[in-house]
Amino acid sequence: MPKPIDVVEALLFASDVPLEPERIREVLDLENVAAVRELVGELIARYEAEERGLAIMEVGGGWRMVTRPELAPWLVRLARARTRVRLSRPALETLAIVAYKQPVSRPEIDAVRGVNSDATLDSLLERRLVRIAGRKEAPGRPFVYETTREFLVAFGLRDPGDLPKIEGELVIPELAAEAVTADGEAQTQQDPGAGGAQQPAGS
């Protein structure tokens, strides 16, 4: 019969979201959440004492299993070697914009890149590196995108806050008047009052 602490370890390993105390209590059929906290505390102490490559982190009202921060450089090397083979330069460019400016809409991504990003976003959605996070409160209410857990895993990150710092700020150009298309997306139009079409920030 496995020990309860080993079951907790297995649950944290198998879950792709932080596990809340009540959820763990239900699975193990424990008397109260205090017993859960005691078990998790023992597990955390075990990991810290043995200096493993993994650690237990409390986040978002629950716990999850993560890699230790000091191991990030090696995980990033592994992820880069694997991901570069699969992602084109436009895909990496678009993914970087989403990662640093999320949640961000497709018209905003287009404004930074200077080209249409529909196909690239579709590819990133298929690879589950980005997801639709809702709609922007703007004309046409375009979808906004954010990175996923698969993105964090691929690049060896615990959360978006672990992204490498960049010099200056990634600025999204001021979008011109937006016209609503039939599919609900917004497309950038020339702003007559701005003296002509807006110049893209780069390609």
**With helix as H, strand as E and coil as C, how does 64-79 read?**
EEEECHHHHHHHHHHH
Q: Tell me, yes or no, whether 202 lies in a domain.
A: no
Name 134's Cβ contacts closer than 8 Å, sequence gap at least 6. 103, 143, 144
Name 92's Cβ contacts closer than 8 Å, sequence gap at least 6. 84
CA terminus-to-terminus distance, the chain? 60
pTM, to two decimals? 0.46
pLDDT tens digits, one per residue of 51-76: 889 999 888 788 999 888 888 888 77
pLDDT tens digits, one per residue of 32-41: 999 999 999 9
Structural domain range at position 130: 72-194
pLDDT tens digits, one per residue of 142-186: 899 999 988 887 777 778 888 887 766 655 555 543 433 334 443
126 and 186 belong to one structural domain: yes
CATH of the domain at 46: 1.10.10.10
Please say which residue of 52, 67, 82 terminates a domain: 67
49 and 148 belong to one structural domain: no
61 and 99 belong to one structural domain: no
Residue with tokens 């239900």: 26
d(CA 167, CA 50): 38
Q: What does residue 51 show for φ and ψ, rounded to 5 degrees?
A: 50, 55
Beta-ladder partners of 113? none
Q: What does residue 198 show for φ and ψ, rounded to 5 degrees?
A: -75, 140
78 and 48 belong to one structural domain: no
62 and 84 belong to one structural domain: no
53 and 84 belong to one structural domain: no
